[in-house]
Amino acid sequence: MAEKSCSQCEGTGWLLVNEDGKQVARRCRCFFNRQTEVLWEQARIPKRYRNCSLGNFEVHNDSHRDALKISRQFVKNYPAQEVGLLFIGPCGVGKTHLAVAIIRELIEKNNVPCASYDFREIIRDIQGTFTPDSNISESDVLAPVFDVEVLVLDELGAKRTTAWVEETVFYIINQRYNQKKLTIFTSNYLDTEEEADGRDAFYKKGGDSLVDRIGVRLRSRLYEMCKVVEIWGDDYRKIAKQASYRF
Ligand SMILES: [Zn+2]
Model confidence pLDDT, tens digit, residues 17-57: 998 889 999 999 999 999 999 999 999 999 999 999 999 99
Distance 147 CA to ligand 1 centre (A): 29
Distance 50 CA to ligand 1 centre (A): 26
Distance in angstroms (rounded) separating the CA atoms of residues 84 and 107: 16
According to the model, what pLDDT value does residue 101 have?
A: 98
Distance 38 CA to ligand 1 centre (A): 16
Distance 15 CA to ligand 1 centre (A): 7
Distance 11 CA to ligand 1 centre (A): 5
What are the E-state strand segments in the chain?
14-19, 22-27, 84-88, 114-118, 150-154, 182-187, 226-230
What are the E-state strand segments in 14-106?
14-19, 22-27, 84-88
Distance 26 CA to ligand 1 centre (A): 10
Distance 23 CA to ligand 1 centre (A): 17
Distance 211 CA to ligand 1 centre (A): 51
Distance 115 CA to ligand 1 centre (A): 27
Spans of the chain, pLDDT less than 50: 1-3, 194-205
Contacts of 146 (CB under 8 A, 6+ apart): 172, 175, 176, 179
According to the model, what pLDDT value does residue 68 have?
A: 98
Distance 116 CA to ligand 1 centre (A): 29
**Contact of 171 with 221, CB cutoff 8 Å:** no
Instruction: Tell me whether strands 226-230 and 182-187 are parallel, antiparallel or unpaired.
Output: unpaired
Distance 30 CA to ligand 1 centre (A): 4
According to the model, what pLDDT value does residue 247 have?
A: 73
3 CB-contact burial (10 Å; exposed 0-12 / middle 13-18 / buried 19+): middle
Neighbours of 160 (CB within 10 A): 10
According to the model, what pLDDT value does residue 233 have?
A: 80
